[in-house]
Amino acid sequence: MVYMDSRMVAGIVVAALVIGLVIGGYVVSTFQKPKTVTETQTQMLTVTEVKTRLKIVGFKSELMWREVIASRQQLPPHTYVQVSTWSSHAPYTIIAFSPNSEMFAIGITVYKNEKPFTEVRIYDVSTGKLLWSYSLGSGYLRALAWSKDGRILFVGEASVEGKIAALDVASKRLLWEYATSKELGMGSPKEPRWYWPTIYSVAVDDSRMYFSACKTRKKPYGKICKLYCFEIKTGKKVWAFPEDGYIDTHVPKIALSPNGRYLAGITWYYKGEKWKGGTIFLLDASTGKLLASFYPETRKPFRWCGSWDGVAWLDNGHVAFVLDDGRAFVLSVPLLKPVYETNITNPLPALVVPRKTQQTEQGYVYAFSSYATVVVAGDGSKLLLVRTSNTYGITALGKSAKPTIVHPDSNSIFFYLWDGKKLELLAKYPLRGRPNYEQWTTYSPEKHLLAVPAAHDYITRTIIYTGLYIYNLTSADQIRTGQAEIGVIKPPENSGVVIGGAISPTGNYAVLVTYPVNLGTKKAPVFKGSYTLAAYQLIGG
């Protein structure tokens, strides 16, 4: 174990990221607590010995089968991942393994006369045999979940009707479906797809399923949303929240408490007349009654507050709430009273480029931090995992701007230990590639393996770190000492960039999806890769 002075280590880490130096190990367990917005104190806890990536004995992945969905030439000219931007024109990619790990469902988008058509395909994971496909037509897949017994697959789409569908996989038939356009209004095929009614998040209990559905309004700009509860077998609607009217902001994520009593929801940064972005709220899962809500106010220098995927249950009495701006709260239920607060990451002073002026000025860079989940390690430790994504910039007045440097906390995973009262930072592991926004991680509770897909880094404009990162969460000590990352499943050479990946519940299999990437510019493109689906057997770990 190597210990270093905090100022020395902070300087090394920032310098390494700014100049593009790659450290071959698993640096860096840090805790950051701001004094002010412009003065940040970094306390180094531990720094592990440098290790060489992928030299961990006892773990390997073997390619079982690979299917090319479409070559670059078979895709429309505009459909690719651009290495110099955080956004992409790749299809939404969600992978859901069945509870027994024998098959998996995935959304696949193909093009006919340059028009997209999406279907949910169900594959036998070991052979690659296509078992069934369910067409969404011109809609897009946005949510996918299995019932606990593995018999029913729930499909949530973004479409002109905004449907949720329950599929009986064994008999290959539609059990029931519901169009949220009945309450939210129909979408128009002439409008962009993000205007359509969309199923954003699904949670499943033994006999009921829950989901959030939202639709974009042009005036005023923002979303209207409702939360629903349905009986799984019959498709009977149990309740909708609110009963009358809408939540007039975006609800991208919901989470059901382990005992099924409470349903938590979070709102993104859209500002409504009644609801604020960056709010967490709690419903009685049986009745849909609103029990409590919590809004933490904005954090300087930000002008907004929001949470994209930052809600996860620590236990039946506590829920974690992680915001885009780097803050994390632990709230007790049912009143949503804050019992613990920490800063995952902090904005740093830096030169930025405002969109309007396109001239550098002093502002801040920050690491978007609103991806969270809770898992149980092999030793029984309860862990809160927070994944940061890209570096973004804001001006001194809090307006959006382009960053000129990489924030040292961007594209990393922070591991926290929950002891029932507070969170302890165990370690921070670098990823160096942006997340899959629809599905940032999956976990094998049987083998305690975590899988995290990473794409490109749009600031440094590189894809060398793209892959599916595998972490062995046997114990809190293993994470703390930097030994959790045991390998990266890299796509075959010239496959493109990873846009999705998942591990099976048993930890025996992993699935990887790649897509063409433009390493050049729009005027002078340099394309690499294809739309490919691949399955791997995992050995060891």
Q: Which of 436, 423, 356 is nearest to 390 (CA)?
A: 436
* CA-CA-CA-CA torsion sign (184, 188, 194, 198): positive
State the Cα–Cα distance between residues 451 and 508, nearest whole angstrom. Answer: 12
pLDDT greater than 70 at residue 81 = yes
Q: Which of 29-38, 66-75, 341-350, 440-449 has the lowest mean pLDDT?
A: 29-38
427 neighbors 479 (Cβ within 8 angstroms): yes
State the Cα–Cα distance between residues 377 and 97, nearest whole angstrom. Answer: 20
What would the DSSP string read from start to end of 409-441?
A: TSSEEEEEEE-SS-EEEEEEEE--S---TT---
Q: Output the six-digit token pair for 272.
A: 């409504």
State the Cα–Cα distance between residues 420 and 317, nearest whole angstrom. Answer: 9
DSSP 8-state symbol, 462:
B
| Model confidence band, residue 86 (pLDDT cutoffs 50, 70, 90) | confident
Mean pLDDT value across residues 197-212? 98
State the Cα–Cα distance between residues 158 and 164, nearest whole angstrom. Answer: 9
pLDDT greater than 70 at residue 43 = no
| Model confidence band, residue 87 (pLDDT cutoffs 50, 70, 90) | confident
Query: Could you tell me the pTM of the whole model?
Result: 0.89
91 neighbors 533 (Cβ within 8 angstroms): no
pLDDT tens track for 303-326: 999 999 999 999 999 999 999 999
pLDDT number for residue 8: 34
Mean pLDDT value across residues 237-249? 97
pLDDT number for residue 541: 56
pLDDT number for residue 194: 86
Supply angle C-alpha 375, 305, 335, rounded to 5.
Answer: 60
Alpha helices in 351-491 (DSSP H): 476-480
Q: Which of 22-26, 274-278, 381-385, 484-488 has the lowest mean pLDDT?
A: 22-26
pLDDT greater than 60 at residue 46 = no
Mean pLDDT value across residues 208-228? 90
* DSSP 3-state of 155: strand
Residue 64 backbone zone (phi > 0: left; psi -120 to 50: alpha; other: beta): alpha
Tokens 């606990």 locate to 148
Q: Which helix H or strand E contains 218, and what residues bound it?
A: none
Mean pLDDT value across residues 339-344? 98
320 neighbors 373 (Cβ within 8 angstroms): no
pLDDT greater than 90 at residue 299 = yes
Domains of the chain as residue ranges with CATH: 6-196+344-540 (2.130.10), 197-343 (2.130.10.10)
505 neighbors 462 (Cβ within 8 angstroms): no
30 neighbors 428 (Cβ within 8 angstroms): yes
pLDDT tens track for 263-294: 999 999 988 889 999 999 999 999 999 999 99
pLDDT number for residue 222: 83
